[in-house]
A = this chain, B = another copy of it.
Amino acid sequence: MTITHQDCRALDAQDPLAPLRAHFTLPPGVIYLDGNSLGVLPKATAARVADVVAREWGTDLIKSWNTASWFDLPQRLGNQLAPLIGAGKDEVVCTDSTSINLYKVLSAALNIAREDSPTRKRIVSERSNFPTDLYIAEGLCKERGLELVLVEPEDIAAALTSDVAVLMLTHVNYRTGAMHDMAAITAAAHAQGILCVWDLAHSAGAVPVDLNGAGADFSIGCGYKYLNGGPGAPAFVWVHPRHASRPDLKFMQPLSGWWGHAAPFAFTPDYQPAPGITRYLCGTQPIISLSALQCGLDVFTAAQSLGGMAALRTKSLALTDLFIKLVEERCAGHGLGLATPRDHARRGSQVCLTKDTGAYAIVQALIARGVIGDYRAGSGAASGSGKGNGGTVHKDILRFGFTPLYIGFEDVWNAVEHLRQVLDTAEWQRPEFNQQHAVT
């Protein structure tokens, strides 16, 4: 039975999470399917930021390091974030950028792995991992005389050999939305004595994550995507307690700045790392941006009483199922493929469509209609099956993120209806949608 507009409205009316949308400011006339790139503005943020600027900074000045707990903000936000990713208390800090946090944990993982087994000389990752992760790993390998081995997702298991020190993966792929089985892959890596670093950029706040349950070793992630922390919001870093305080590794992570010191205000000339995750802090943090991130996390705290991440996941899968079904029902015959796995266990909170030609122009035409997704160029190589198997996808991609905090079922209907019109009328072939690619 085909789905109707009215069916979608009915789903919204029954949605127990629908009230969460009121926590956000959404621009009028926009269906925002890019929360996987930059989350929207929580309603509380403007007032919070204004208070940090005018009162905490402007009036209270340096006192606020103590009275407004600026010093503890990375730890406080880390504790607020922890339940979303299956981390315990005092295991997470919000700080710096994802790339820098990856440098810290990848360095630490290499230090630990190679302290234990100096013959392990490889980092394994996925060729289609987010590039900055690969750049950081490439630099570390160059510096330490190690080898970065990049494989296709289907070849990860075979690459876990005894000369590998660290497996570094992004949990949900940024291009395809394919999700790895964190527990199974971590167990397979550990069986070979390999440490696991998980990038949760497209997972935290998007899908339930259980770092401790999976026995993961290190993790980092992004504050400005599904966590709605604002443009370039500070990132986060988690380290399993079995690694966090190893006393034999004073410089376990090399960015040994004063915020990670055991006694930063003793002003001693030698570095003594703080216990636990605090040693993953480095320099003074951008307090205004960090405070904005708190408002993003507050919405997840509010969502707890509505079922938390489990309920968000149920809705997310319903949204992406609906989008896939509607695209297949209503946009058939235009050569769209599906890059995102159909299997719920393998799907993040986004749906990526493929198209041989015109993907960029279609995204531009949708944006002109207020349906904001984004485009990711393909490698130009032969594509995979296009059947959503989670394998390698080389084609151009139309990427649509579905944030269950503020996207509803009627939004999905409307988005697909716009897509149908753009395709059926060949609107995307207009010259203005085929200009040179902008940077997005």
Contact A97 to B257, CB < 8 A, known contacts A41-B58, A286-B233: yes
Interface pick from A133-141, A186-194, A315-323, A337-345 = A133-141
A142 at the interface (CB under 8 A from B): yes
- Find residues 253-268 in chain A having any chain B CB closer than 8 Å to their own CB: 254-259, 261, 264-268
Do the beta carbons of A269 and B34 come within 8 Å of each other? Answer: no
Q: Is A232 an interface residue (CB 8 A)?
A: yes
Near B by CB (< 8 A), chain A positions 415-430 give none
**How many copies of this chain sit in the oligomeric assembly?**
2
Closest chain B CB from A253 CB (angstroms)? 9
Given known pairs A65-B440, A66-B438, the reply for A99 and B57 (CB within 8 Å) is: no
| A-side interface residues, number (CB < 8 Å) | 88
A27 interface residue per 8 A CB criterion: yes
A232 close to B285 (CB less than 8 A): yes
What are the residues of chain B within 8 A of A235 when measuring CB–CB? Answer: 283
A290 touches B (CB below 8 Å): yes
- Say whether B53 contacts A46, CB under 8 Å: yes
Cβ–Cβ contact A131 & B267, under 8 A: yes
Q: Which of A2-10, A115-123, A208-216, A371-379 interfaces with chain B?
A: A371-379
CB-CB under 8 A for A53 and B230, given A62-B38, A143-B254:
yes
Interface flag for A50 (CB, 8 Å): yes
Q: Does A299 contact B (CB under 8 A)?
A: no
A residues sitting closer than 8 Å to B (CB atoms) are 25, 27, 30, 32, 34, 37-38, 40-41, 45-46, 49-50, 52-54, 56-62, 64-66, 70-71, 96-100, 103, 127, 129, 131-132, 134-136, 138-140, 142-143, 150, 224, 230-235, 250-251, 254-259, 261, 264-271, 282-290, 292, 372, 374, 376-377, 438-440
Contact B71 A54, beta carbon cutoff 8 Å: no
Point out the residue from B131, B143, B231 that lies within 8 Å of A268, measured CB to CB.
B131
CB distance from A259 to the nearest CB of B (A): 8
Residues in B neighbouring A251, C-beta threshold 8 A:
138-139, 142-143
Contact yes or no, B286 A232, CB < 8 A: yes
Q: In the complex the two chains form, is A288's CB within 8 Å of B231's CB?
A: yes
Could you say which residues of chain B place their CB within 8 Å of the CB of A135? 256-258, 261, 270-271
